[in-house]
Structure 1
């Protein structure tokens, strides 16, 4: 069967399976729009509750097409829904529209502005080069995941809060709820391999912070950690850690890589690296952008890498032009001095006397 046939049959069978398990629930289908993706979903809401569970039917159809038995697919979906019900956070629905109760739960994320253009029309956001800063209320967070609500234009209108106030509160709360964590790549590798940093040193990995050529920035739970880019003090915090200017590589929406701008890697090399990793290693829903960014720690400027290169070229051209202009003035003065020096002394004296005489006549 095709997807439309599957969707209709799947919805009925899941609803019947839940009823057989003694679970009365309302089942509906709709399109779920999320950052970086949208999908056809089945929303299952227990009787007497306002909070439901979304099931991505496209994923289950894919499993069916890849050879998984249809009954097994239905059973798996029922298990996911039951697990979702069991792990749902307790939510005071009335509090969801009370900004005074919700503002302390504000966090920030950064997403691709191009990939989420339609969604951004519906949510308050701040542009950040070719990215956009969006806001969420974090309802619950634990080892199994987190529950959040994307802040929409409609929601803040209901709450009676402006986008400006929302942003100001998020800038204050997000770094407290999700503090930025910056680690050297050697430290990250040690954690991934389950070894100590001393073991890595014996394996030839650099352990001196001054030797680190790459750093990883995220948040403690490593979920949507690229949002640290929007934190007020993050850029200066990173500059202090890496020792000056740096490039930013958007590894994913969950983390970013920081590369010191020390001349070891060119912008074109870094851009090629980001594009290759995004094309081969990053899931589409986790992709941030293909761009590389730069932070000038002296001028306090965050910008696209290409803008930085252009700004530097203009700056160097301006310095050269200024030096050339100064050189021209000096050359002109020297030429005049040489010309005067070559004149006969008598002629020079006569010119001086005539000059004084003319001034006297004017008086």
Structure 2
């Protein structure tokens, strides 16, 4: 079954299973790095909020051997359980002072997101862009995020400076940083089942408490200097994904060009296309005490 046939089967199943008057609409959505994904909007009659189902990921599960019926049943359960309006004030997002405590920032690649950046407020940072979202921590579906667009600022009568000040105040509180050794991170991710092998090069992972959009931690006040004190020397910063960055002492790297080649290879083979941050390697040096891109 090809992708279009899969979409037709899923939507046909939902039309037969959901209450009459439910509107199904397939909407192409631009995600990070210009990746277009199909979102299936499921709006029940009389509702202002509709769950969005990303069919691309479900199709990958189908290709990996999961049954079509199992996928359809899970999507149906999601649609039936997502009575968001009964538990959440949908007018909340019309009031900027109620939104302000939820505003946070994250980092994306500037060049790969040029089209998206035309529609959302942002600030340039090296070869990256700082963008903003609302982090909702108490919803019927757990944590949820809403990307803040230019249309929101127009509605609120606010500007990007207002957003940045709010995000600078909130992000570190909502998503505290975590700076841990690579060995400890491997042990943690394996839930204690894998004893890490020390490679002889001290590496650290910088992320946040949720390990989500954690690369933005490098924007926190004083964090780059804190990393310098932890490593006790200049260090290279590798953008392993939008969720975390890796720090390596400069004295442990013989040729920084090898690091650049490694990052590019990882981004093409190990990192999901929607989670790639940059192919660039950065240096925080003892002399400048700031983060700079490595050029060749």
Residue in structure 1 matched with residue 226 of structure 2 by the alignment: 237
- 2:52 corresponds to 1:50: no
TM-score by length of 2: 0.86
CA distance in 2, matches of 1:222, 1:65: 28
Instruction: Select which of 75, 78, 81 maps to 2:79.
Output: 81
Q: 1:144-183 counterparts in 2 under 5 A? A: 146-183=143-180
Instruction: Select which of 122, 135, 146 maps to 2:132.
Output: 135
Name whichever of 231-240 and 58-67 sits farther off.
58-67
Gaps of 5+ in 1: 311-363
CA contact (8 A) 2:242 2:276 kept: yes
Question: For each residue in 1:236-271, what CA deviation from the matched residue of structure 2 results, as whole angstroms up to 9, or x when unmatched?
Answer: 122122213211101111111011122534211211
Question: Which structure would you say has the larger Rg?
Answer: 1
Equivalent position SS for 1:241:
helix
Deviation of 1:41 (Å): 1.7
- 2:43 corresponds to 1:40: no
CA contact (8 A) 2:183 2:197 kept: no
Which structure is higher in helix share? Answer: 1
Residue in structure 2 matched with residue 100 of structure 1 by the alignment: 97
Equivalent position SS for 2:251:
coil
Equivalent position SS for 1:262:
helix
- 2:19 corresponds to 1:30: no
Kindly tell me: are residues 165 and 188 of structure 1, through their superposed partners in 2, closer, same or farther at Cα, counting changes over 3 Å? same
Deviation of 1:123 (Å): 0.6
Residue in structure 1 matched with residue 263 of structure 2 by the alignment: 274
- 2:210 corresponds to 1:221: yes
Kindly tell me: are residues 129 and 45 of structure 1, through their superposed partners in 2, closer, same or farther at Cα, counting changes over 3 Å? same
Residue in structure 2 matched with residue 305 of structure 1 by the alignment: 294
CA distance in 2, matches of 1:295, 1:65: 43
Kindly tell me: are residues 191 and 94 of structure 1, through their superposed partners in 2, closer, same or farther at Cα, counting changes over 3 Å? same
CA distance in 2, matches of 1:298, 1:91: 51
CA contact (8 A) 2:121 2:132 kept: yes
- 2:197 corresponds to 1:190: no
CA contact (8 A) 1:247 1:305 kept: no
CA distance in 1, matches of 2:136, 2:111: 28
Question: For each residue in 1:202-230, what CA deviation from the matched residue of structure 2 results, as whole angstroms up to 9, or x when unmatched?
Answer: x8748xxxx86110000001011111122
CA distance in 2, matches of 1:270, 1:82: 48
CA distance in 1, matches of 2:174, 2:280: 28
CA distance in 2, matches of 1:48, 1:16: 19
CA distance in 1, matches of 2:232, 2:142: 34
Question: For each residue in 1:166-211, what CA deviation from the matched residue of structure 2 results, as whole angstroms up to 9, or x when unmatched?
Answer: 1122112111111111111222233234449xx96xx8748xxxx8
Deviation of 1:77 (Å): 2.6
Deviation of 1:2 (Å): 5.7
Equivalent position SS for 1:227:
helix
